[in-house]
Each structure stands twice: as C-alpha cells, then as structure tokens.
C-alpha cells in the first residue's frame, strides 16, 4: 500500500495547515509548482472540481490514508444514519493512530502510526499494533508499562503543540491513559476542512 513520502511542506503550501501531517510551517507563501506565484495572486481561478479535490486531499494527507482506504470510509459513512460528513470525520478520529495523536502521544499522525506499529499502545489492557484499529466508546487507550515506552510518550507529551485535549477523551496524566467518552464533536477537530465538499467529490462513485 503506497503512502506519500515526499516533501511535506510542499503539501501544506498547496492545501494549508495539516496538523496531522506536519507541525512545521513553510517560510514560502506561494503554492508549489511553476505557476504557484501567479495562481496565489488570483490570476488563476480554481474550478469547483479542483476545490473539492483539494478538500479530499486534505483528509487523505492529514490522516495518512490511501485513496482506497478513504473511499472505504466514505462508503461506511454513507451506510450509517446521520450526517454523512460528520460521521466520516468521527470514523477517522476513532482510528487508533488518530486518537494517539489527539492525546499528544505523538507529534503527527504518522508518528502515532509508528507508535502503534511498534507495539507501544494498548487498548483495554491488550497491545494493539494496527493503526487503523477502530476504537469504540468506552475503550481505554493506554501505553505499555516499559521504560522505553514511558520515556518516549512522556517526552512527546511535553512538546505537544495544541493546549487542550478533545472533550470526548478523558485523560489520566498519572496513568498516561485515556477513556473514550463519546464520538468527537465537530469543534474538536483540528483540521480546517469542509467535509461536505469531500462527500460531493465522491457523489458520482
């Protein structure tokens, strides 16, 4: 399964801030590419399809998903009752790597995925090494009780960029674990995105 491994600041210059992809900000303000400066000055108008495409790309890069993975989440969101756009975001936020990122266990979603792959994270006391693991309300997200894991997580918690943790997670600093109280609220999502445009992008599929 292919993932983007190229320059990340180039992506944020085109799509805007992506907290799950990278915390740094580029000193360059223009969009990347040969016509980046001219398009940023407003001489080149982006089509409606282009706008929807960029919103879709935001989700894809922020959460580190492949195209097929994102489309599966779209289909699952459509299948469930409720507002499709909000359900899509809630499904993505309930991924284990997304929750580890939201708790501050890792500076980016990619780093959180690596934590899970290396078996540092537990769910209800059992080690889980699948980053896409879909957590549920009531689950306890913790860390393995080893010196290496504790040191790694504690250092990451000290350098966390966002001040407040989401309201749907109850974090215990002493135990370094959190309980999922509910699905996330729209206001708790750090990514600036219009999820309706993403649903519209996939409306013909």
Q: What is the pLDDT of residue 31?
A: 62
What's the chain's average pLDDT?
86
Q: Could you tell me if residue 173 is inside a domain? A: yes
More confident residue, 35 or 61: 61
Coil, helix or strand at residue 161: coil
Q: What is the pLDDT of residue 1?
A: 44
Residues in the chain, how many? 205
**89-95 mean pLDDT:** 95
Confidence of residue 30 (pLDDT cuts 50, 70, 90): low
Residues 6 or more apart whose Cβ sits within 8 Å of residue 55: 193, 194, 195, 197, 198, 201
Verify that 53 and 99 share a domain, yes or no. no
Rounded Cα gap, residues 149 and 127, in angstroms? 12
Residues 6 or more apart whose Cβ sits within 8 Å of residue 192: 16, 17
Q: Could you tell me if residue 2 is inside a domain? A: no
CA neighbours within 13 Å on the CB side: how many for 75? Answer: 7
CATH number of the domain at 42, please: 1.10.1050.10
Say if residue 34's pLDDT is above 80: no
Q: Could you tell me if residue 122 is inside a domain? A: yes
CATH number of the domain at 152, please: 3.10.290.10
Verify that 161 and 130 share a domain, yes or no. yes
Q: Structural domain tally of the chain? A: 2
More confident residue, 32 or 87: 87
Of 3-7, 80-84, 89-93, 117-121, the least confident: 3-7
Q: Could you tell me if residue 19 is inside a domain? A: yes
Q: What is the pLDDT of residues 49-74, one digit of tens each?
A: 889 999 999 999 999 999 999 999 99
Verify that 111 and 81 share a domain, yes or no. no
Domain containing 34: what range? 8-90+190-201
Confidence of residue 29 (pLDDT cuts 50, 70, 90): low
Residue 51 CA: distances (Å) to CA of 20, 29, 162, 194, 200: 20, 19, 28, 10, 11
How far does the chain reach from its first CA to its final CA, in angstroms? 21
Closest CA to 137 of 174, 89, 178, 86: 178
Q: What percent of the chain has pLDDT over 90?
A: 60
Q: Could you tell me if residue 69 is inside a domain? A: yes
Verify that 178 and 99 share a domain, yes or no. yes
More confident residue, 185 or 18: 185
What is the H or E stretch that residue 180 is in?
A: strand 177-180
Cα–chain center distance at 90: 11
Q: Could you tell me if residue 20 is inside a domain? A: yes
Rounded Cα gap, residues 110 and 167, in angstroms? 23
- Structure token digits, residue 143: 């860390």
Residue 36 CA: distances (Å) to CA of 43, 44, 89, 185: 11, 10, 30, 35
Confidence of residue 36 (pLDDT cuts 50, 70, 90): low
- Please report the beta strands in 21-172, taking only residues with DSSP state E, as ranges in sequence order: 121-123, 126-127, 140-143, 169-172
């Amino acid at each position: 399964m292919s993932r983007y491994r190229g320059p990340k600041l180039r992506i944020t210059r085109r799509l805007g801030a992506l907290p799950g992809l990278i915390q740094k900000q580029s000193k360059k303000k223009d969009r990347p590419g040969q016509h980046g400066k001219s398009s940023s000055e407003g001489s080149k108008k982006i089509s409606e399809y282009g706008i929807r495409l960029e919103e879709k790309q935001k989700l894809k890069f922020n959460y580190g998903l492949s195209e097929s993975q994102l489309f599966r989440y779209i289909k699952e969101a459509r299948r469930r009752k409720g507002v499709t756009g909000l359900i899509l975001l809630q499904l993505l936020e309930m991924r284990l790597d997304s929750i580890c990122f939201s708790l501050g266990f890792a500076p980016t979603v990619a780093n959180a995925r690596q934590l899970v792959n290396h078996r540092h994270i537990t769910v209800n006391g059992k080690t889980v090494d699948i980053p896409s693991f879909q957590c549920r309300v009531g689950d306890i997200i913790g860390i393995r009780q080893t010196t290496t894991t504790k040191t790694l997580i504690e250092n990451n918690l000290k350098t966390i960029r966002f001040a407040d943790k989401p309201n749907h997670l109850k974090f215990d600093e002493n135990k370094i674990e959190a309980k999922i109280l509910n699905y996330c609220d729209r206001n708790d999502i750090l990514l600036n995105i219009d999820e309706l445009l993403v649903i519209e992008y996939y409306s013909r599929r």
